Structures are given as C-alpha cells and as structure tokens.
C-alpha cells in the first residue's frame, strides 16, 4: 500500500502500539481505535500552505495529501471538500457576535461531511480487498455515512452493505441503492443496526464504522484545514460542531492542532460539541467532567443522524473538545428544526436536521453570554437540507404553516 512521505503509522489510542497501513480495523493488540501519525518535520509547511490556499474546486481532499496517509493519486476522489464558508450576517446580529460563518458541508458529493473520510477509508479498503480477498465493505449507520460508503465503493468497484435503523431517512435508503450499495433495514434504532452487521452478514467484510476504520475521522480533519486557509490562516474564536459518533469534532481538533504543529497557526479555536437534548452523551460527559461518555439510556430525537447513544469516539471527542477549552451544548428538537428553517429563510443556505443543532446550540450559548461581542464563530452544517425535507416541512406544519 503506497503511503505518503510523512505518514509514520497507525497508533493505538489505548495501548500506544503502532501498526502500518496494512492493518485493517482496530488495534490487533488491544482492540483500541487507531489514529494515523506523521513526521511533521517531513512536511514542507510553505508547500502545504500553498496547496491548501490554492483553488479548491475539483481537487478533492487529495490537495492535502502531505498530511494524509495516502497520496492524491491513490484516492477515489470525487471533488469532495472545498466547501465554502458562507457569511450569515443576520445570524451574527441575533447572536450578538462580530461574524458568523457557516461551513457548508452540504456541498459535498453526497451532501455530507462523510465524503471526506469515506474517500480515505475506501482507498484503504480497496487495497485490503486486493491483498486479502475480503471485498465487501460494511457499516452500521444512521444513513448518511452508508450512502457515502456506497458512492465511494462504487467508484472503487467494491460491494458495500449499509445496515440502517428503520427510522433512517428515505433519501438515504434510496440513494444508497442508487449508488449501487446494498442496504439492510433493521428494526429499532442505531444500536440494533450495529448488532445486525455480524448477525446478518454471513461473510468476511471490512468494517467502515466510525473509529473502526482509522480513516473517517482523518478525512474529517480537512474541514479544519479549509477553515484556516479560507480565513487567511487566522483561527476563528469558536467552532460549533454537530456531534454524533465523535468523528467530526475529533477530526477538526486534530486538523487545527496539526496546523499549529506546522507553524501555520498560532492558536486553536474553542470547539463546542452540539447535540440534541434527547441524545447527548458527549455533551453530558463534558458537563459532568467525565473522561468518557456514559451510554444514553433512552435516546429520543428527531435528528436521526445524531442519535448515537454510545458513540465509538466518545472518549476521543471529550478529550478533543476539552483540549481546546471548549464545552458541550444541547438543544431541543424544536429549536434545532426551527434553527435549520430560520437559516434557510434568512441566509439562503439549506441545512438538514442534524446541521440545525449548530445554530440552535450557538443560540443557547449566546443566551449564556458564552461569546464576546467581537467573536468570529463558525458553525458546521453537516448535511444537506434535502436529506430531511419531510422533517423540516413537518416542523412548519406543526406551527400551522
């Protein structure tokens, strides 16, 4: 498997063992999750800055390959990444801050940030399939990551199986099949879908679940690279991140930390993990001072993408937020949907239900005077509004609209 010059290996977050890129899945020593590591001294900071700041359109996450495990030519790229920072002036006024920018991950090929990580994960899985004859890819997913997996697997010529809970959005179910992926609908919620993978898939497979593959959160770190590059290498004061498995907030923290390691940034932004009140294990752990979340006993939120009661990257997410001096925040389903609708009606941009937790959480933080009047705040919109149009429309109907 061809790797980049700076890539050193996959380090276990639990036992510290380091493995090479041929390792598929979790740590063979202790079953901990793996994290790609690099020799930052081998990275030309000036060249990285030039590549990051150049034209983003059509180049995909491969433009950052100096700090990725695989070179750009080895990726099944489809122009993922390069998403814009959209100014939200009215929202800034409502929050009482200097500037609000929405990082619109809805512009990715399948409409979510998952395309960044799946591009890397499928690249690795393709090599594993060729060398070990273990072709099928599989993952339990609320929906979006399964659709993304199917899309990139199709480009790589691999089969994929997405196990989704019955309440998964129809758009995900339909498009997973349209991309050529196999989809298994499992009664119940996300944990039931996760349990069904081994129960129903009677073959060896490569698991592309979050923090089982080490590459999904690694792709997510490119969000931080783009935020910094698009802001002329000045960090915002705060970044509000919708949080489910933990992969996005973990990736974003790592991305900013690496830019500081390269001398491209002088500071880190404060990260906020935003979750719905009905399923907030990471936010609760941060609030209670715990090192790892406790499983959420009775998950109940309309935001299916965020209903992960026992997140695989929960401890890593808590550590990532805490490392920036950040915190967790929660919002009610009504406030989340109202915020997504308000953004669409006032700022043009379309947010899915999961993305709406970022402005809703920011509003609650503003009510607590968390922000300073001159703060620059970035909100991550994790998914397209067309992922959950029925949920957003039902919210309006409930108000008599």
**Can you say how many angstroms the Cα of residue 67 is from the centroid of all Cα atoms in its chain?**
18
pLDDT tens readout for residues 250-278:
999 999 999 999 999 999 999 999 999 99
Element housing 35 (H / E):
strand 34-38
pLDDT tens readout for residues 172-231:
999 999 999 999 999 999 999 999 999 999 888 999 999 999 999 999 999 999 999 999
User: pLDDT value at position 132?
Assistant: 63
pLDDT tens readout for residues 86-108:
999 999 999 999 999 999 999 99
| Residue given tokens 């309440």 in the structure block | 167
SS3 at position 163: strand
SS3 at position 124: helix
- Identify whether the C-beta of residue 116 lies closer than 8 Å to the C-beta of residue 108: yes
Domains in the chain, CATH or no CATH each: 85-112+216-398 (3.40.50.1100)
Asked if pLDDT for residue 129 goes beyond 80, the answer is no
Mean pLDDT of the region 362-378:
97
- Identify whether the C-beta of residue 299 lies closer than 8 Å to the C-beta of residue 281: no
Say what the pTM is. Answer: 0.97
Asked if pLDDT for residue 74 goes beyond 90, the answer is yes
pLDDT tens readout for residues 342-361:
999 999 999 999 999 999 99
User: pLDDT value at position 308?
Assistant: 98
User: pLDDT value at position 128?
Assistant: 79
Burial class (CB in 10 A: 0-12, 13-18, 19+), 46: exposed
Question: Token pair for residue 344?
Answer: 């669409």
Question: Token pair for residue 113?
Answer: 């940030």
- What residues contact residue 352 under an 8 Å CB cut-off, 6+ apart? 106, 111, 305, 340, 381, 382, 383, 384, 385, 386, 387, 388, 392
Nearest to 66 by CA among 55, 83, 52, 78: 52
Question: Token pair for residue 46?
Answer: 């000036």
- Adjacent-strand bridge partners of 10: 19, 36
When pLDDT is cut at 50, 70 and 90, the band that residue 59 belongs to is confident
Start-to-end Cα distance in the chain: 55
User: Can you tell me the distance from the alpha carbon of 363 to that of 308, in angstroms, rounded to the nearest whole number?
Assistant: 23
Question: Residue 393: how many CB atoms within 10 A of its CB?
Answer: 13
When pLDDT is cut at 50, 70 and 90, the band that residue 134 belongs to is low
When pLDDT is cut at 50, 70 and 90, the band that residue 133 belongs to is low
Lowest mean pLDDT among 127-136, 244-253, 326-335, 388-397: 127-136
pLDDT tens readout for residues 139-185:
999 999 999 999 999 999 999 999 999 999 999 999 999 999 999 99
Tell me phi and psi for residue 10, to 5 degrees.
-110, 110
């Amino acid at each position: 498997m061809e790797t980049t010059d700076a890539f050193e290996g996959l380090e276990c977050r639990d036992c510290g063992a380091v493995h090479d890129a041929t390792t598929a899945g979790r740590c063979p020593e202790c079953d901990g999750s793996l994290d790609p590591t690099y020799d930052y001294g081998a990275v030309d900071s000036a060249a990285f800055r030039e590549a990051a700041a150049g034209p983003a359109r059509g180049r995909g996450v491969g433009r950052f390959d100096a700090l990725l495990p695989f070179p750009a030519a080895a990726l099944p790229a489809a122009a993922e990444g390069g998403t814009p920072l959209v100014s939200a002036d009215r929202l800034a006024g409502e929050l009482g801050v200097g500037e609000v920018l929405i990082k619109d991950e809805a512009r990715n090929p399948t409409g979510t940030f998952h395309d960044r990580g799946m591009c890397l994960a499928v690249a690795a899985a393709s090599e594993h399939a060729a060398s070990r004859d273990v072709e099928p890819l599989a993952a339990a997913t609320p929906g979006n990551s399964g659709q993304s997996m199917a899309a990139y697997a199709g480009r790589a010529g691999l089969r994929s199986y997405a196990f989704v809970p019955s309440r998964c959005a129809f758009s995900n179910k339909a498009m997973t099949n349209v991309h050529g992926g196999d989809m298994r609908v499992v009664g119940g919620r996300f944990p039931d879908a996760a349990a069904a993978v081994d129960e129903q898939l009677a073959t060896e497979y490569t698991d592309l679940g979050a923090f089982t593959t080490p590459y999904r959160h690694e792709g997510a770190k490119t969000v931080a690279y783009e935020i910094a590059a698009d802001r002329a290498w000045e960090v915002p004061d705060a970044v509000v991140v919708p949080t489910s498995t933990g992969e996005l907030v973990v990736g974003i923290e790592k991305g900013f930390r690496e830019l500081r390691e390269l001398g491209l940034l002088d500071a880190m932004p404060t990260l906020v993990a935003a979750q719905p009140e009905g399923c907030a294990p990471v936010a609760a752990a941060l609030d209670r001072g715990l090192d790892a979340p406790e499983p959420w006993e009775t998950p109940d939120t309309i935001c299916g993408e965020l209903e992960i009661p026992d997140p695989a990257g929960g401890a890593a997410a808590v550590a990532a937020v805490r490392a920036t001096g950040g915190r967790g925040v929660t919002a009610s389903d009504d406030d989340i949907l109202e915020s997504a609708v308000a953004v669409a009606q006032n700022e043009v941009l379309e947010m899915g239900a999961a993305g709406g937790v970022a402005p809703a959480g920011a509003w609650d933080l503003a009510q607590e005077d968390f922000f300073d009047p001159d703060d620059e705040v970035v909100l991550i919109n994790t998914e397209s509004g067309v992922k959950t149009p029925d949920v957003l429309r039902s919210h309006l109907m409930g108000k008599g609209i």
